[in-house]
Structure formats: structure tokens, C-alpha cells
Amino acid sequence: MLYYLFQWLDEQYDVPGAGVFQYISFRAGIAVLLSLIISIIIGKRIIKILQRMQIGETVRDLGLEGQLSKKGTPTMGGIIIILALLIPVLLLADLRNIYVLLMLIVTVWMGFIGFLDDYIKVFRKNKEGLRAKFKLLGQVVLGGIVGAVLYFSDDVKLRDYDNIYVYAVDKGEPVGRPLETYAAQGIRLEGDGQLDSTGLHFLSHDTRSTKSTIPLVKNNEFDYTWLTGWASDDTQKWLFPLVFIAIIIIIITAVSNGANLTDGLDGLAAGTSTIIVITLLIFAYVAGNSILSDYLNIMYIPDSGELVVFSAALIGACIGFLWYNAFPAQVFMGDTGSLTIGGIIASLAIVIRKELLIPVLCGIFLVENLSVMIQVSYFKYTRKKYGEGRRIFLMSPLHHHYQKKGMFETKIVTRFWIITILLAIVSIVTLKVR
């Protein structure tokens, strides 16, 4: 809203300073501050409302130190994050941007699923919450929406440097020939591509593409079409969209559930998510900047720079939430927050073509997910084979294993933050190291 207001003031009345709103970096800075202030201000009020409505955490005695002291702590605090995210984005982002619209859909959709889950737990007194199949269905549908938009929308494009064409003027008419044609003739483009002596210039080509980035590999582009390269052309027309959308569904489901499982200690999910989103903000800024992407030799994604504003707002919202969620927590984010953050992180990574980095960047989410899968699978296997279920971890998810070993909650959280920072650094390094 403010973005359009200041754009209008700048264009119609040339108001001094109004043009600064055209800069993504400026709006991102404002978004961080605004979302942080909003989350801190409304956080206190929402906590009081949740307390008044007796929306508190129900805790089973699992023998964890300090666990019972959390009983009654307000949950559904993810509402704070969602509101503190949406308000700055609606005010400061370009709402005509396809990526911003897509991220708003992800936020509201996953927030609604998480809210239903928490609502059933709190008000229906059902500890299981929303049934797993319905939660999974919601994630699958969202993944289908994201995948369909990225595959079918004409607004989702990449700058394709493999299809650069050089145009020569022949009798007043432009004649296009592939760049390789001129290279074979020994003609070399210099500087900005202008060759006055020949009248040549080159034009980059924005095109729809399903390419992604393979980290730490030279010429690191991976095209999902390779997965169905064995099929005939007629088969690929319907098979490839299904495969591509299925991959997007798997990624969104896995990351959102990973974030959900990580939300088990005070400040753990909010802190690790903040670090991850800061990294994704850097990726989005580079991918949306033609100069930086060219310098680093990575994909340039037109219009993706607006995701910097969205990411900045989420960072401020998470930090503001940490104000109340740090040990000892005054509020928990619940599934309302954890599922939303996980869905946003997955979608951001997919949009900026960094989803293959998720196992590294979201390493904490991954091991939390794996610890539960390994624990459950091994328990079922040993129960069937030996008549009694056995466990690999003292308790899952993994952070509870360390609690069972007697490690203080704050130490576990801090160490998981440190590990996430190291993983974020490794992820950023992949921009240049191949």
C-alpha cells in the first residue's frame, strides 16, 4: 500500500524522498523494523488474550527436566508471527509481484492448517489435533498450488544466458543469429556487448524454465526435465508437470513437518528459522540482482528481488516473537507458527531455485525429521521381530534425546543455533565455491 502511495507521489508530484521506496534494500530495512515493532507490541496483548481464554499448553509427564513447568503456557503464538509478517508485506511489497502473491498464499494457507490443529488440541481437548491425513492433504494441496504456479505461470521466468542472440542490422532490418555463429567467425563481443564497427548487439532472453541449482558443482544448473528425458515427447507433456509438482509437494511437506518437530524447546524453532531465513534473504537478493547474479555466475530470476522484502518482514517477526519465546517462554508458537514458517522456508527456497540446498541449510529440520522416522521404524521393526519395541534414541525428536541425557534446555537450543549458523555459512559459500 505504502509502496504504491510513494510511487504515485514520486511520479505525479516529484515529492522529495518518495523515490527511495523504489529501492528494495530500503523497503527491506523498514520491513524488518516494522515487523519487529509490531510483533513486540501486539505480542504482549495477544499473550494476555490467550491467557484470558485459557489457551494453554497441555503437557504429559515424559520425565523431561522443566517440562511440567511449561504447563499452561499460552500456545498458538504463531498468530503473532503471521500478523507481524503480513502487515509490513502488505504495506511495503509490490503486491502485483507473482512471488509475493505466492508467498502470501503459502502464509495464509499454512497458518490456517496450523490454527485448525491448535484449535482442536486446545478447545476440543484432543491431544492429537488435526488428523494426520487432513494435515497432509492440506500440505499436498499447497504444494500442488506452488508447483503449478511455478510451472505454468508466464510471470515465472529465468534469465537464460544459453539462448543469447546477437542482432545485426541488414538493410535496416534486425537479423538474429545465435551467438555461436559469430564466435565461429572469430567475432568477439567486448564491454557491454556493443561493437560499433559491425553494428552488433546482444539481447538476453527471459524464459520459463524448470532449472535449479546444484551446490558445489561447476556449471551447476540442474533441469528437472532430465528426470523424464527417457520418455517420448507426447508422454513428457503430461508426465513432466506431474513429476515436477510431486517434487515440490515432497519438499514443502518435509520442511514444514521438520519445522513443526523442531518446535519443542523454548526459542529453538524461532531461532533456527531466523538464521535460515536470513540466508534465504541473501540468496533472494543476489538472484534478483542482475549485476550480482552475473558476477557470481548464478541464475538471475527477474522480479524475485521483492522476496527480500518478504523475507525481511519474516525475520523481524521471528526475532520479535523470540522476545517472548526465549527461555523461559511466555508463549509457544504452536503449529500455527511452526507449520507456517516451515512452509514459507520451503517455498522461498524453491522459488529462488535453492531447494537442493535445503538438506544443508535446514539441516536441523532434517535431523529432527530423521530422528523421528528412525525411532518409529526401528521400534516397529523390533516389536515385530522380538516381541518388544526397542529404541535408538532415548526419546525423539532429537532435542528430547539430549534432554533425557541431562543437558540443559538452553544449552541444547544454543548449540542447535550454532550448528544452524555453520550450515548457513556453508550454504552461502556455495554461491562462489564450486
Model pLDDT, residue 402: 94
Do residues 292 and 152 share a domain? yes
Do residues 145 and 202 share a domain? no
Quote the mean pLDDT of the chain: 87
Do residues 106 and 194 share a domain? no
Q: How confident is the model at residue 201 (pLDDT cuts 50, 70, 90)?
A: very low
Do residues 196 and 135 share a domain? no
Place of cell 527480500: 308
- pLDDT of 18-61, one tens digit each? 888 899 999 999 999 999 999 999 999 999 999 888 776 665 55
Model pLDDT, residue 341: 98
Q: How confident is the model at residue 218 (pLDDT cuts 50, 70, 90)?
A: confident
Q: What percent of the chain has pLDDT over 90?
A: 63
Domain count, the chain: 2
Do residues 172 and 271 share a domain? no
Do residues 165 and 259 share a domain? no
Using the predicted structure, report yes or no on whether residue 171 has a pLDDT greater than 70: no
Cα(84)–Cα(258) distance, rounded to whole angstroms?
23
- For residue 272, give the nearest of 389, 147, 412, 112 by alpha carbon: 412
Model pLDDT, residue 349: 97
- For residue 320, give the nearest of 81, 36, 32, 33 by alpha carbon: 36
DSSP state of 326: S
Domain range for 185 is: 161-207
DSSP state of 169: E
Q: How confident is the model at residue 170 (pLDDT cuts 50, 70, 90)?
A: very low
Does residue 373 fall inside a structural domain? no
Count CA atoms within 13 Å of residue 237 on its CB side. Answer: 2
DSSP β-bridge partners for residue 175: 168
Using the predicted structure, report yes or no on whether residue 321 has a pLDDT greater than 80: yes
- pLDDT of 125-137, one tens digit each? 887 889 999 999 9
Q: What's the CA angle centered on 244, arms 98 and 261, to 5 degrees?
A: 80
Model pLDDT, residue 136: 95
Model pLDDT, residue 1: 80
Using the predicted structure, report yes or no on whether residue 407 has a pLDDT greater than 50: yes
Does residue 363 fall inside a structural domain? no
- Average pLDDT rounded to a whole number, residues 180-199: 43
- For residue 278, give the nearest of 322, 313, 240 by alpha carbon: 313
pTM above 0.75, yes or no: yes
Name, in order, each residue with C-beta under 8 angstroms of 314's C-beta and a sequence gap of 6 or more: 35, 81, 85, 277, 341, 344
Cβ atoms of 106 and 253 within 8 Å: the answer is no
Do residues 97 and 143 share a domain? yes
